[in-house]
Amino acid sequence: MSTDQPALHIVLVRPEIPQNTGSIARLAAATKTRLHLVGPLGFSLADRYLKRAGLDYWPLVDLRTYPGWEQFAAANQKITAKFFSARAEPSYLIANYGRGDYLVFGSETKGLGREFIAERTDCTFRIPIFETRVRSLNLANAVSIVVYEALRQTRVMH
């Protein structure tokens, strides 16, 4: 694990599907992005599907875990966070990403929750979906889209 300050942070709140989290962990390793898992988790960190999706990259993942949102918030004060929800209005493309930003995503089935995003409308964004019968994107895909846009905007090249 790296002790350097990462260019970005990925925050997964109550992730439920181990394969998605494993894929996101691989993305975090590849981009040198810190991964924060905020519980309760819908799986064990020893889950074989989680490990398999992350392959042998787990030693490269800069991982932090928290039992719940309160513990995450207490440990990460004075941060710049951007939240992502299929229910938000502004596109992720209009967000101004900066070095050290925390990119926060909710669970696969419940997202971040209506009340949670209602308190953060000024910093909550969505990835446009053009087919109205599709509710949301796969979590791992959504995180990838946003991370690479943030890296492009901050001109971070590892």
Domain-located, residue 49: yes
Q: What is the pLDDT along the chain (158 residues), one digit of tens a residue?
A: 444 688 999 999 999 999 999 999 999 999 999 999 999 999 999 888 888 877 788 999 999 999 999 999 999 999 999 999 999 999 999 999 999 999 999 999 999 999 999 999 999 999 999 999 998 999 999 999 999 999 999 986 55
Domain range for 104 is 8-154
pTM of the complete model: 0.94
Domains identified in the chain, total number: 1
Q: In what order do the strands lie in the sheet with 81-84?
A: 63-66, 34-38, 8-13, 101-105, 81-84, 124-125
Look at residue 78 and tell me if it is in a domain. Answer: yes
Within-domain flag for 51: yes
Residue 32: strand, helix, or coil: coil
- Measured from the Cβ of residue 19, the count of other Cβ atoms closer than 10 Å reads 17
| Inside any domain, residue 50 | yes
In a domain, 2, yes or no: no
- CATH code assigned at 104: 3.40.1280.10
